[in-house]
């Protein structure tokens, strides 16, 4: 139904796939946007920006639900939980945070890591989070407590891409090291 894009002009937009028309005004940040995610029901979009904020926007109106969710450094990753109740965020301050989508309040974290966390994804069942980091590792976390699960998955370069398989049994990671 919709497609979300992020642009070098420090904005994101939501487009109707059927018509190719923008359905929101530009969703503005004060710096580049590094990640974007739709809520499971498609009513919200979240944006992570180098201005150290995460925006949560109504797709219907293009308006933010609340002031940007503040981070200690550039916000790098966003992911809605499969039930749409929480939002996981990562940033260059090496912290993982969990927010209540309805209120914008912090509900878990910040959980510290060794280096900047650049991406975050939920497992399909919502029980785990997977992060990729500039420390050249991917790490699993308990999605409720933000406790680490298992050992880091090593790479030789920063991990820029991560995802779970549809059934949640496998993870994929991508790094500049070619692995």
Q: What is the 3-state secondary structure (H, E, C) of the chain?
A: CEEEEECCCCEEEEEECCCCCECCCCEECCCCEEEEEECCCCCEEEEEECCCEEEEEECCCCCECCCCEECCCCEEEEEECCCCCEEEEEECCCEEEEEECCCCCEEEEEEECCCCEEEEEECCCCCEEEEEECCCEEEEEECCCCCEEEEEEECCCCEEEEEECCCCCCEEEEECCCC
What is the residue-level pLDDT of the chain in tens, covering all 179 positions? 899 998 889 999 999 999 999 999 999 999 999 999 999 999 999 999 989 899 999 999 999 999 889 888 989 999 999 999 999 999 988 899 999 999 999 999 889 888 877 899 999 999 999 999 888 889 999 999 999 999 999 898 988 889 999 999 999 999 888 77
Q: What is the pTM of this model?
A: 0.93
């Amino acid at each position: 139904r919709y497609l979300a894009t992020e642009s070098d002009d420090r904005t994101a937009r939501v487009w109707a796939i059927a018509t190719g028309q923008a359905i929101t005004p530009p969703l503005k940040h004060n710096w580049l946007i590094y990640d974007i995610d739709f809520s499971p029901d498609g009513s919200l979009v979240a944006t992570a920006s180098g201005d150290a904020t995460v925006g949560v926007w109504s797709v219907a109106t293009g308006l933010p639900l609340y002031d940007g969710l503040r981070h200690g450094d550039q916000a790098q990753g966003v992911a809605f939980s499969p039930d749409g109740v929480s939002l996981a965020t990562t940033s260059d301050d090496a912290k993982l945070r969990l927010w209540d989508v309805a209120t914008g309040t912090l509900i878990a974290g910040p959980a510290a890591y060794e280096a900047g966390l650049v991406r975050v994804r939920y497992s399909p069942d919502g029980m785990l989070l997977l992060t990729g980091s500039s420390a050249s590792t991917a790490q699993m976390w308990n999605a409720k407590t933000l406790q680490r699960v298992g050992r880091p998955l090593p790479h030789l370069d920063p991990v820029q891409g991560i995802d779970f398989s549809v059934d949640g049994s496998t993870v994929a990671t991508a790094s500049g090291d070619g692995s």
